[in-house]
Structure 1
Amino acid sequence: MSKTPPFADLPPVLAGPILRRIEPGRLVLWLAGSVPLDLTLVLAPRDGAEQRIVLDQKSCRLVRVGRAAWIHLIDVTLLDTLPQDTLIDYDLLIDEERGIAHWAPHLLHHGQMRPNLVLRSRMDDILYGSCRKPHHPSRDGLARGDALLAERIGQADARPALLMLCGDQIYCDDVAGPMLAAIHALIRRLGLYGECLEGATVEDSEALYAHAKCYYRRADLLPGFKSNDNLRDRFFGGTEKPVFTTANADNHLVTLAEIMGMYLLTHSPLAWRAVAGMPAPACARDEDSAERWQRESAIIADFRAELPQAARLLAHVQTLMIFDDHDVTDDWNLSAKWEATAYGHPFSRRIVGNALTAYLLCQGWGNRPEAFAEVLDEMDALFAKPDHKDRLDPVRQDALIDRLLAFNCWDYTLETEPAVIVLDTRTRRWRNRRVPGHPSGLMDWESLSELQVNLMGKKAAVIVSAAPMFGVKLIEVVQRIATYVGLALTVDAENWMAHRGAASAMLNIFRHSRTPGNYVVLSGDVHYSFVYDVEVRYSDRVPHIWQITSSGIKNEFPARLLDWLDRLNRWLYSPRSPLNWFTKRRALALKPRLPDQRRSGERLWNGSGLGQVWLDAHGRPDRIVQHNADRRPSTRFLPQGQADDKDAPPAAGAASASGSARAQRLTDSEKLSARTW
């Protein structure tokens, strides 16, 4: 492997390491470098012997995405298994001598010489969240998570077992102008590969980057289609409508290089150093865009300031991920009609395929490495032979995209106690063939059947569904009405109850006598946080479900609108309201938990941050907390009737024996309402 950087002043590491799956006999990490790195993994348990493992081609797979950009996919099988519930220092040495303290000191907490990890014996303490938009004007929930970790960095039993990112880790469809400029500077700096663009108004990626509408006017460059949805269109030949339905497409990412650059710049401060001092584009001085540019620049500067803390959290805690729509584009696969339109146009198909390719390399692989071996072989063939303009072979690129669009192994399971089952609610949808414009079910019959088989025999399970399984009823009703009048895309009408078949199948899984009695459902997507205690009616046994939603990590719902929706929901769907019987949730009894910092009656919590749940020995929530990114005291979601005591939540980790017993008494004594809230 070459040890000499193609550009001497580029840092050898651009992003990472990110700690992905941890098992007793296996360790998975992700790293991006400007060169192919000779790496040695060091593992040093506090109470055991140190291991040094030279990472060869079997344990570190390299994927070259540019002249000076290499993704390092590290999957190490360990001869000596990792001890559980103890601190394990680790390091990645470059050329057997330069460790993380040398090339990424921002990843070390005060007093550390190396980062560390903990392999927990139980999945009883989980951090979770979704929706991290760099230019949203709030602080970063991942940085808040790092501050929590710093308080207990030396306490193995107080460390979270998992950081679960539930979707929208990046926003491909909603990008700030200064972020797009940094992406383009990074593309030039690293020589990220370009591509030809069939069906576009520009020939290739270089023409796109140089186009007058590249910044703030990209919606004009995105693909469109002829619509014949109404009588006027049929008589006058149809009207041109956009394929992509996002309202924020001004800087929608298009090329694979742009999306790879977005990942690097949202995961690490090192990538930003590579573009320091690069000149701003002309739009920064344009009269129409200058004010917006300045406003976004200030927010992006604040985002960059917290990136070292966010990266440090990802280097210390096992981090798993799943996509949602904004990781690709808004309304991705919302309906059969959307799919037919988007995949029937070569340009929009390429845009979606590029996002999936980048997701695989930067997120999906680390969740389930063994599922992607053959796909990575195809990637190697694609990246091996760019043309004389450093553009990818369009035939190979389209073939890879065809493969990814048909791929059905994005979901995964952790066989832990309790089991963690992460659902793919985007690519295996239950399409509405009768009315293709209506929302698809979030999972089809086959994938729901596989979920049921996966749940058989388990006592408890944590299910990760990007969209909440049980959401705010008023919002679901509004989405249903909008769907009826043909506006499903306008209101993002995606919820589990929007498709009768998927909703019924999911409820029947919960009712099955051999599936778990306790479920915790972790979700994001909606840009506000809430918790429901749920019982499924009309069942021989009563499964207990806790719908726990934390959203967003760096995003929020419009405050006044959410206030009104929350209030109207309480008025219209109170336990005694007959409106409950006109919804698809009449087979459920839901009881909201109340935020302890709420105003009168408030059920929904609005504010960027990161959620945390502690589980007892039976897989039931002991405590549920939303850690606010703005450093306000953490918000606890309390069962109705529980006193608002002001005790601080327990240290992250297994609850004490007395705490677990108290949680069990509370749970056993709670009799959920027999009426629907």
Structure 2
Amino acid sequence: MPPGARAPEQPPRLLLGPLLRYVDADSATVWVETDRPCLATLHAGGRQAVERTWSVHGHHYALLVLTGLPEAAVLPYEVRLDGVRAWPAPDQEFAPSVIRTIRHDERLRLAFGSCRRSAGHDAEALRRFGADALVALAGQMATAPHEQWPDALFLAGDQIYADDPSPELTARLKAAHRGTGARDADRWDADTDHDGGRREVRGEVHDFEEYTWLYQESWSQPAVRWLLSTVPSCMILDDHDLRDDWNTSCAWRERMERQPWWRDRVTGAFASYWVYQHLGNLSPRELAEDEVLAVMHTTDDDATRTRVLDEFAWRTDAEPDTARWSYVRDLGGRGLGIRLVVVDSRCSRRLDPDARAMVDDAEWAWVLEHALTPPGGERIGHLLLGTTLPAFLPAGIHHLEGWSEAVASHRAWGPVAAWLAERLRRAIDLEHWAAFRASFDQLVDLLRRAVEAPQPPSSILLLSGDIHSSYTARVRLRDVRHPGTAVHQLTMSPFRNPMHRAVRLAHQVIEWPPVSRTWRGLARLAGVADAPVAWRLEHGPWFTNGIMTLSIDGIRATVEMDRAEVRHGRQELTRLGVAPLAP
């Protein structure tokens, strides 16, 4: 280069993505994060979508909405930034990413699971955390025809671990805060909670910027990046997106709100969730109606956009009706629809000890409307209820959680027992639907209303994760005939975060029949009535990393259960079994 000559400016780069998010019969959305402001263009099927990136907190994003696509098509696509192709990448090892628009032939393959720790893929990380189910799924897809791919991917919570990041990210966090006064590295290491218990903020993220590091680490692994670029994904947040045991109880909430770091943490969590996860759950029509997204598109100033988003994020926690994180997707079928209703079971909780609810009244009314009302007047052939936390747990844990709620609320055995029950609830995560009995009963009533409808669905399938064990359970409503509707709890967890051996042992002890019966008796003594529903585990529990794939063909439904494991240095899926669900 001649002396004094300027080096040619490099074109904009994709920092993250593309993520293929919402897809229906004729439209698709693709999300990207770029390294600078630019014009992003999506090309597929002779159509294009163009959007100038918008920024918050100095980060640049675009959500490209492509419409007018042909139904049941397989369309390779590319992303250009300022006219230069950024995806597919020149060094990409996988096949070109494609958009597959929905078929209306009453068939669906939906892969799902939850709880994925970001960790390396070297020998030590594979020994400690096991194989990554999403990496293994991508490897399986790479050599399979499109017909065998999942049509969609449901990430049922804990996509990131804000309170327990990887060792590499923990080191980065510590280095970033060294010498920053009140949050320098030495003091940061020493913070403890007000009860003298485990550390509150050591090795945890605090704000929007640090949340972006989590997403970058989680979604940039090459196989996972390709998987998310070519399989439509829908997501929902759970506790580790913010903090373990988030909204477990009123006592937990009051203690957290006293922490000096709480506001930054909450604001960063919800603002980043809106950008990285929530927007992609929405249809093009819903995106057009989103008031915060409208501000992103119509405001030129990063500081103003950031302020608007941060204020919105803080309000969503303080006033849960500010935003609805629950959503619905219709996944195909003409005349026999397949509807996925994803329920937010974290943000809209009611924690008053005398009126606890997993989902508040407004949110539950929305759930009922979308679970019981057929789309476009068509029959719901299969109703899928996505809830991060399983409703139908193994029996011993179910009764333990019912007992803990009754005792911790002071209704049963007095203040001393209440204090002990609250400590136990936090220590071993007693926070599922069984620990919110009023909401559990509402859910059972929803199932009853669905199966007693004039045209009941062929199946009602609850898709959950969270508990770091996996199983299927058949559910039967007492005093209700539903031979035409199969009801199952399908729980798949983790993608990659195996349960510690001590916790696994405790789980097995609780489910030992004499212990399980003891907790049932204690729950009855505490005033917890038996539920008007029965269920039994049919497959599992398993305690390994893996993934489940729901396969629907007309009125029939089956579930494929796969374990992720390392074989000959490769991360692969091994079939554990295939179970019929309906009819």
**TM more than 0.5:** yes
Q: Name structure 2 gaps, 5 residues minimum.
A: 1-6, 120-127, 332-336, 375-379, 408-420
1:423 is the counterpart of 2:343? yes
Residue aligned with 2:245, SS: coil
Which position in structure 2 is the counterpart of 1:507?
444
Which position in structure 1 is the counterpart of 2:204?
252
Which position in structure 2 is the counterpart of 1:401?
314
Which position in structure 1 is the counterpart of 2:185?
212
Contact 1:144 1:609 in 2 (8 A): no
Which position in structure 1 is the counterpart of 2:486?
544
CA distance in 2, matches of 1:138, 1:367: 29
| Cα offset, 1:444, TM superposition | 2.3
Which position in structure 2 is the counterpart of 1:444?
360
Deviates more, 1:34-43 or 1:315-324: 34-43
Which position in structure 2 is the counterpart of 1:634?
574
Over the matched positions of the two proteins, sequence identity in percent amounts to: 20
Q: 2:388 aligns with which of 456, 466, 476?
A: 466
Alignment CA distance shift 1:344-1:375 (3 Å): farther
CA distance in 1, matches of 2:62, 2:274: 13
CA distance in 1, matches of 2:222, 2:27: 27
Alignment CA distance shift 1:214-1:83 (3 Å): farther
Which position in structure 2 is the counterpart of 1:294?
none
Matched letter for residue 315 of structure 2: D
Poorly superposed stretches of 4+, deviation over 6 Å: 6-11, 245-248, 379-383, 573-578
Which position in structure 1 is the counterpart of 2:88?
101
Matched letter for residue 486 of structure 1: E
Deviates more, 1:460-469 or 1:532-541: 532-541
Tell me the matched-pair count: 525
CA distance in 2, matches of 1:526, 1:504: 21
Deviates more, 1:581-590 or 1:505-514: 581-590
Alignment CA distance shift 1:507-1:246 (3 Å): farther
CA distance in 1, matches of 2:486, 2:544: 28
Considering fraction of residues, name the structure with more strand. 2
Which position in structure 1 is the counterpart of 2:235?
321
CA distance in 2, matches of 1:97, 1:382: 26
1:265 is the counterpart of 2:217? yes
Counterparts of 1:151-550 in structure 2, within 5 Å, are: 151-152=143-144, 155-182=145-172, 207=180, 211-213=184-186, 217=189, 219-220=191-192, 240-241=194-195, 249-268=201-220, 307-343=221-257, 347-368=261-282, 370=286, 373-377=290-294, 384=301, 386=303, 397-398=310-311, 400-403=313-316, 405-406=318-319, 407-416=322-331, 417-434=337-354, 440-456=356-372, 457=374, 458-483=380-405, 484=407, 485-487=421-423, 488-512=425-449, 513-514=452-453, 516=457, 518-541=459-482, 543-550=485-492
CA distance in 2, matches of 1:480, 1:586: 11
Counterparts of 1:104-115 in structure 2, within 5 Å, are: 105-106=91-92, 108-109=93-94, 112=95, 114-115=96-97
Q: In the TM superposition, what whole-angstrom CA distance separates every residue of 1:626-669 from its partner, at most 9, and x where no partner exists?
A: 23243566243466xxxxxxxxxxxxxxxxxxxxxxx58xx55x
| Cα offset, 1:453, TM superposition | 1.9
Contact 2:54 2:60 in 1 (8 A): yes
Residue aligned with 2:202, SS: helix
Q: 2:102 aligns with which of 83, 96, 120?
A: 120
Residue aligned with 1:566, SS: helix
Alignment CA distance shift 1:385-1:323 (3 Å): closer
Contact 2:20 2:229 in 1 (8 A): yes
Matched letter for residue 257 of structure 1: E
| Cα offset, 1:162, TM superposition | 0.6
CA distance in 1, matches of 2:190, 2:297: 31
| Cα offset, 1:468, TM superposition | 0.6
Counterparts of 1:1-16 in structure 2, within 5 Å, are: 12-16=13-17
Which position in structure 2 is the counterpart of 1:614?
551
Tell me the TM-score normalised to structure 1 length. 0.70
Q: CA RMSD in A?
A: 3.6
CA distance in 1, matches of 2:317, 2:269: 10
Counterparts of 1:123-138 in structure 2, within 5 Å, are: 124-135=108-119, 137-138=129-130
Alignment CA distance shift 1:214-1:516 (3 Å): farther
Contact 1:62 1:73 in 2 (8 A): no
CA distance in 1, matches of 2:306, 2:280: 25
CA distance in 2, matches of 1:314, 1:132: 14
Alignment CA distance shift 1:469-1:141 (3 Å): same
| Cα offset, 1:452, TM superposition | 1.9
Which position in structure 2 is the counterpart of 1:625?
561
CA distance in 1, matches of 2:247, 2:20: 30
Q: 1:82 aligns with which of 70, 78, 87?
A: 70
Contact 2:57 2:302 in 1 (8 A): no
Which position in structure 1 is the counterpart of 2:137?
145
| Cα offset, 1:25, TM superposition | 2.8
Residue aligned with 1:535, SS: strand
Contact 1:429 1:442 in 2 (8 A): yes
CA distance in 1, matches of 2:503, 2:89: 48
CA distance in 1, matches of 2:518, 2:315: 51
Contact 2:33 2:62 in 1 (8 A): yes
Which position in structure 2 is the counterpart of 1:553?
495
| Cα offset, 1:447, TM superposition | 2.2
| Cα offset, 1:556, TM superposition | 1.1
CA distance in 2, matches of 1:209, 1:10: 40
Q: In the TM superposition, what whole-angstrom CA distance separates every residue of 1:535-571 from its partner, at most 9, and x where no partner exists?
A: 1112244552111111111101123542553365152
Residue aligned with 2:290, SS: helix
Deviates more, 1:19-28 or 1:564-573: 564-573
Residue aligned with 2:440, SS: helix
